[in-house]
Amino acid sequence: MNRRRARIRTASVLLALVALSGCSAGSDPAPAATHPARVAEATAPAPATSAAPVSPLGRSLPVRIQLPSAGVDTGPVLSLGLAADGTVEVPSVEDADRIGWYDKGVTPGETGPAVLIGHFDTARGPAVLKNVSRVRVGDEITVTRADGRLAVFRVRELEQVDKKTFPTAKVYGDTTRAELRLVTCGGELVDGHRPDNIILYADLVATRAA
């Protein structure tokens, strides 16, 4: 437990840097994406009754991500560690059609906030999360794990924030249940970069064999 909390504390420090330096369009201005680089912010209403929590899974690496409402079905999943400058890595331009998992945190399905990162677009054009504006509260994100289990998450909240005010503790802070964050970029292009982060918060609602 202490080791996991240490990982999350480390991630909390680093995510502020990710929010400022990650998911950029590159040195050249990116071409206009097909869909808007923003989401309609929303939060699911509190349930009328308390549902029994889904039991978390053990540690197992993610291998495939499906988000049907945004047309996402991608794998294998990249492992993102730390870049040479100490910031958290983001997928390369060459891997713009794939999603990465921050490997210093928990895996999807474990107790805690598993964090996924993907591009909205790059200098080469629209990327894996180009249709993030189509996602709504209640949509499902399914993660296939290396152990042959599916971890199904339901989107609880959509948030778009300026990278300078990124909600580090909210995204990376410790949780008592299995949760998922999916982070990309948004906003109108400014000097070839998008100034916002779009964040999807999701809760584990089911697990089953793949």
For residue range 51-99, list pLDDT tens digits in order.
677 899 999 999 999 999 999 999 999 999 878 877 778 999 999 999 9
Question: 88 and 183 in contact (C-beta within 8 Å)?
Answer: no
Asked whether the beta carbons of 199 and 156 are under 8 A apart, the reply is: no
Comparing C-alpha atoms, which of 148, 61, 157, 159 is closest to residue 110? 61
- Going 100 to 151 to 13 to 166, the CA torsion angle's sign is positive
What is the spatial distance between Cα 38 and Cα 201, in angstroms, rounded to a whole number? 15
CA dist 111 and 55 (Å) reads: 9
Ranges assigned E (strand) in 45-194:
62-67, 72-74, 78-80, 100-102, 112-117, 121-122, 125-126, 140-145, 149-162, 178-186
- For residue 76, the 8-state DSSP code is S
| Cis-peptide, bond into residue 29, ω within 30° of zero | no
Name the CATH code of domain 2-45+55-209 (choices 2.20.25.90, 2.40.260.10, 2.40.50.140, 3.40.30.10).
Answer: 2.40.260.10
Average pLDDT over residues 29-43: 72
Which pTM was predicted?
A: 0.86
Predicted confidence at residue 191, as pLDDT, reads 84
- The neighbouring-strand residues paired with 183 are 117, 199
- Which amino acid does the sequence have at 120? F
DSSP E strands: which ranges in the chain?
A: 42-43, 62-67, 72-74, 78-80, 100-102, 112-117, 121-122, 125-126, 140-145, 149-162, 178-186, 196-209
Judge contact between 149 and 208, C-beta under 8 A: yes
Using the predicted structure, report yes or no on whether residue 100 has a pLDDT greater than 70. Answer: yes
Q: How does residue 30 score in pLDDT terms, banded at 50, 70 and 90?
A: low
| β-strands 196-209, 149-162 pairing | antiparallel
Question: Is the confidence at residue 27, as pLDDT, over 50?
Answer: no
Query: What is the three-class DSSP state of 160?
Result: strand
Query: Which of 174, 195, 171, 165 minimizes the C-alpha distance to 183?
Result: 171
Least Cα distance to 123 among 159, 96, 163 occurs for 96
pLDDT at 32 (0 to 100):
54
Domain map (residue ranges) of the chain:
2-45+55-209
